[in-house]
Amino acid sequence: MDDNTVLVITAHPDDVDFGAAGTVASWTAAGASVTYCVVTDGDAGGFDPNVPRREIGPIRRAEQIAAAGKVGVSNVIFLGYPDGRLTASIELRRDLSRVIRKVRPSRVLCQSPERNYSRIFASHPDHLAAGEAALCAVYPDARNPFAHPELGAEGLEAHTVGEVWMMGTESPDTFVDITATFDAKLAALRAHVSQLTDQDGKLEERMRGWGTHQAKAAGRPEGTLIEAFRRISTS
């Protein structure tokens, strides 16, 4: 198992960029191999009623691939589940277990399955479902050779993920300084043109505000920008 292999699981295109793109940029700069797994195509997103619904999914896939490139990620997997109707189904657990067994990461970064009452927008129902399914895939599914026997039939051996990092949690315990990678985070976010209407100054102000708030909560010096996570050992 490669200690520098990371799998990021999110519900929608752009979720990772709001929550963790600065951290991902720091990992890839240090030589980590990072793969994104996006459960839906984000086809319920967008703001322009003149864009046909059938075009939104492909647009958002392309935007996520472009955003990933801004932070050094070249491998993006889409599972194609419907946006806005996600549940932590056994089928989703199986599909995420398949990805885990293929990628064989030492670390999985995912969304929290617990509602965040301080930041309600972090707790979109799809986020909660993706987080729950990701945790179930990490433990027990992907590591259990007798779970999802069809995966074994595909030649995918069981794999144990060493740790999980959760974003969007009310109880973070791990803080990553993204001051040096903040510009890369902004570039990734700005790739999501179909989703953002406030790119001229407001987006940067908003992201700096979040990073500064997390830095204060973590007791970091003024001027520092932080992304916060809850880190879980699976051993």
Query: How far apart (Å, rounded) are the C-alpha atoms in residues 167 and 171?
Result: 10
Q: How large is the average pLDDT for residues 128-137?
A: 98
Average pLDDT, the chain: 94
Check which CATH number belongs to the domain holding 47 and give it: 3.40.50.10320
Q: Are 51 and 76 in contact (CB under 8 A)?
A: no
pLDDT greater than 50 at residue 1: no
pLDDT for the residue 39: 98
pLDDT in tens, 67-113: 999 999 999 999 999 999 999 999 999 999 999 999 999 999 999 99
CA angle 104/107/110 to nearest 5° reads 110
Domain ranges, residue 12: 5-233
Inter-CA distances, 74 with 40, 57, 96, 143, 164, Å:
18, 19, 19, 26, 21
Residue 204 CB burial class (10 angstroms; 0-12, 13-18, ≥19): middle
Q: Which of 17-26, 118-127, 218-227 has the lowest mean pLDDT?
A: 118-127
pLDDT greater than 90 at residue 130: yes
CA angle 37/42/47 to nearest 5° reads 150
pLDDT in tens, 160-207: 999 999 999 999 999 999 999 999 999 999 999 998 876 566 899 999
Burial code of 128-163, b = ≥16 C-beta within 10 A, e = fewer?
bbbbbbbbbbbeebbbeeebbeebeeeebebbebeb
Nearest to 83 by CA among 39, 113, 128, 40: 40
pLDDT for the residue 3: 67
Count of domains forming the chain = 1
Which pTM value belongs to this model?
A: 0.95
pLDDT for the residue 156: 98
Q: How large is the average pLDDT for residues 109-137?
A: 92
Place of tokens 């996570």: 229
Amino acid at 197: T
pLDDT greater than 90 at residue 151: yes
pLDDT for the residue 43: 87
